[in-house]
Amino acid sequence: MLWILPALAGGRTLREVMNADPEDFNVLPGLLALMALLMFFCCQYLLWGSLAHRADKAVQIAAVCTLLYGTLYWSLLRVLDDAGWFTKALVAAVLASLTAFNAYLAGHELLLLAYEPQVQAQAERSAGGDALAFSTQLDAALGLPALKQDERQLRQQLAEAQTQAMTMAPAVTVWMEQARACEAGAGALQRQIAGAVESPAQAEARLAWERKTAECQQIGKLARAQLLAHEQQGQGRAQALQTRLTALQAQIQEAQADHAQALKRAAPGIAAAHASGAGRYDALWKAVAAGTVPAWSAHGLMFFSIVLDSAGLMFKLLQAPDAMARRRRHEAGMARAEAKTLGHLMSQLLRGAKAAAGSAGGQLQSDFNQHTQTTLAAETMVHVEAQAFERIHRRTARAQSRTGQPLPGLLRRMRGALDGMRSRGDARFRAAGVGGAAT
């Protein structure tokens, strides 16, 4: 009984298996088909199990996918037994596509089982590169480079304004030098007054000193006013620049916070894109290109999976058909021959019927004319008289509804008309019957 399952997997139905002997079946394609189905289930389980949001349903999803794959594979294998050359080539192309897809999954999953640490490290490097590229794109989208450039310019302008506020302006320097020269002149006059004897000349010198002292005070006042104006102007510009810098820094902090949140939201997806699902295959071949996974091993395992998965289809196409396949081909050939024969007979009968109808056209036209005169004409008259009777009946009903009294004269005429129509119809039908019998 061990041959039943491979026979079923090779494209046979349960009825065929039960009604035949074990030697009627070639079980090798079925055994290889079961192996391909097992490979497909394992690949699907590993693929869906690598996805965090579907890992708990990996077995169910893999079972459903394998059932669909197996049903299609079984149906196509069964079609190969009795199909024509064109259909067989088309079915073989579809089966080859399914086999290539299964081998693609199987080879990658085998390599991932063998070199999981290397592939995981490559996936992390690829995810880091993508995260960096995403961060750069996000910076450009948020305008952070331009904001930081503006911040640097404002800081430079603020430093220049603060330096300028602490530096004497040329006009202020001139006034300060004039004030110092004036004070020096006043001091010289004061010394002259102290060394002179009381005289009119001394009084005149004292008066000159007082004038010089007043002039120095005036010059000093103007110099201090210029210095104060210069300091206020510098401080006002520095304060305005500081206000702009504070607002710009707040904007930069907000953009950086948005950037950090967006990067935090995208980081799991970027990592999952390289570490789960088909993204692992891309990381695998990047690891092969980087040399961390041997190239000969990668291509060798892929070739092994292709051979293992396509062996069943190759044996099915190249091996001689078994007894059941020959029986199905014989029955299909007999059915096609019977259909062709029946089609040929029907076409011959149709051509003969057309020829017979053409030769008997005159007789058929005569019979149709007689039928028209005897039967169709009588039926038409009966139909017309029945419509007339119906109109009379409606008029009578309306008249009775208006008067509330029966109309005996009209009823007698209707009864007479009805009797006349019946007698004429009976006579026509008897005449038609007599004529048809004579014919």
Say what angle helices 85-114 and 295-318 make with each other, to 10 degrees: 150
Range with the poorest average pLDDT among 76-90, 134-148, 173-187, 265-279: 173-187
Percent of the chain with pLDDT over 70: 59
* Stated length of the chain: 439
Structure tokens at 329: 């081909």
DSSP collapsed to 3 states, 334-360:
HHHHHHHHHHHHHHHHHHHHHHHHHHC
Structure tokens at 348: 């011959």
Does residue 214 register a pLDDT over 90? no
- The per-residue pLDDT for range 216-241, each reduced to its tens digit, is 777 677 767 766 676 667 677 777 77
- The per-residue pLDDT for range 16-29, each reduced to its tens digit, is 777 666 666 677 77
Range 412-426 average pLDDT = 65
Does residue 72 register a pLDDT over 80? yes
The more confident residue out of 326 and 133 is 133
Does residue 108 register a pLDDT over 80? yes
Q: What is the pLDDT of residue 434?
A: 46
Q: How confident is the model at residue 437 (pLDDT cuts 50, 70, 90)?
A: very low
Q: What is the pLDDT of residue 381?
A: 64
Does residue 191 register a pLDDT over 70? no
Does residue 172 register a pLDDT over 90? no
394's enclosing H/E stretch is: helix 377-403
- The per-residue pLDDT for range 380-413, each reduced to its tens digit, is 666 666 676 677 777 777 767 766 666 556 556 6
pTM for the model:
0.52
Please, is 313 exposed, middle or buried when counting C-beta atoms within 10 Å of its C-beta (0-12, 13-18, 19+)?
Answer: buried
Q: Which of 63, 2, 11 is nearest to 37 (CA)?
A: 63
Does residue 60 register a pLDDT over 90? yes
Say what angle helices 28-49 and 85-114 make with each other, to 10 degrees: 50
